[in-house]
A and B are shown apart, each in its own frame.
Chain A
Amino acid sequence: MTFADYLLLFGGMGLVTYGPRALPLLYLARKQLPQWLIDWLALIPVAILSALLAPSLLTDAAERSFALGKPELLAAIPTLIFALKTRSLAGTVLVGMLLFRLTGMFI
């Protein structure tokens, strides 16, 4: 791919990423939101992170089927415990990588 191809691709990706980030902010920040919406939005972060994580740990991406006991899942359990105990973002990333590497060696 040429420079122009990459510019087109990343420019397009940038636009479709910026749109959803900017529009609700520009529109909603000038209004008083109803309490039910505030309560609902408060549950969104945990739901999104869980929805991003769970399929990557519990399914096989190539066959799109349920898979229990993937190295990703086995490494995730001690990584989760580490994160709960330390609450360190960088530490969790590094411990997760190490555990994943070790799990890959034994499976």
Chain B
Amino acid sequence: MNSNQVLKRNRSGKVGQAVSAAWPICLGYFPVGLALGVLARQAGLPWWAVGMMSLLVFAGSAQFICVAMLAAGASLPGIILTTFVVNLRHGLMSSALAVHLSGASRRFLAVYAYGITDESFAVNMARFRGGNWDRWRALLVNHLTNAVWIAATLVGALVGQFVPQGAFGIDYALTGMFICLLVFQLQGRIHILTGLLAAVISVGWYLLIPGDSYIVGASMTAATLGYFLNIRRRRRSP
């Protein structure tokens, strides 16, 4: 086998690995995207607006919230502000990813940033941590999942008018996805503990403080507590 063939084989291997990493997200995105498209149509959005939203925003939970707010008659600045607060968490993910993307060009990072979602982040971080993963495969995961997301929401929007409200449990699609992504993140006792802390703090924060600050506030607080508990544990058992 000459070097050209080796290179080719290597490349298809990389693409194959990216596809196999993206595949579970795509399978998950399909019902979630369908659900979003259906709910958007039921809220009165035209089908092309659903496609436009998926292309320009590409943030599942913010898109669900936007549809709910439009249905409730919220103002455009109110929806944009809520989107900002809900998606601030991606700044934390972006910071965590920066560790693995050092040395990449500015252009690469600008393109990569578009595809940072809860899902691609969870999958790419797990792969980066396991080693044997590079930024091009991670970028491919982002774009494959983006394409499937846009397609799924469009299909949902096109069939939306024929689906009765609440059918097939579609309201639960996003919750189901978050539950599984959470499971992917449970890699040790400290992660389980941090998750439990975040659950308690976010519920308390949500009940006491109006608005959506509970997501960013509770996750940063819980991660900080988890960080210090981990240091204490390490000191006790050298």
Contacts and interface: CB of A to CB of B under 8 A. Distances in A.
Interface of A: 1, 5-14, 16-18, 20-33, 36-59, 64-66, 72, 75-76, 79-80, 83-84, 87-90, 92-101, 104
Interface residues of B, number: 98
B206 interface: yes
Given A20-B91, A47-B219, A47-B223, A13 B56 contact: yes
B71 interface: no
Contacts of B104: 29
Contacts of A6: 45, 49, 52-53
A37 B199 CA distance: 22
B94 A44 contact: no
B96 A59 contact: no
Interface of B: 24-25, 27-28, 30-32, 45, 49, 52-53, 56-59, 61-62, 66, 76, 79-81, 83-84, 87-99, 101-104, 106, 109-110, 112-114, 116, 118-119, 121-122, 125, 166, 168-173, 175-186, 190-191, 194-203, 206-207, 210, 214-215, 218-220, 222-224, 226-227, 230
A46 B180 contact: no
B114 A18 contact: yes
A15 to B, nearest CB: 8
Q: Top 7 A-B pairs ranked by shortest CB distance?
A: A96-B176, A90-B27, A20-B91, A97-B169, A101-B169, A22-B113, A28-B98
Contacts of A72: 172, 175
A76 B181 contact: no
A62 to B, nearest CB: 11
Contacts of A80: 179, 183
Given A17-B87, A17-B90, 8 more contacts: A12-B80, A40-B227, A47-B197, A50-B196, A50-B202, A51-B219, A59-B207, A64-B206
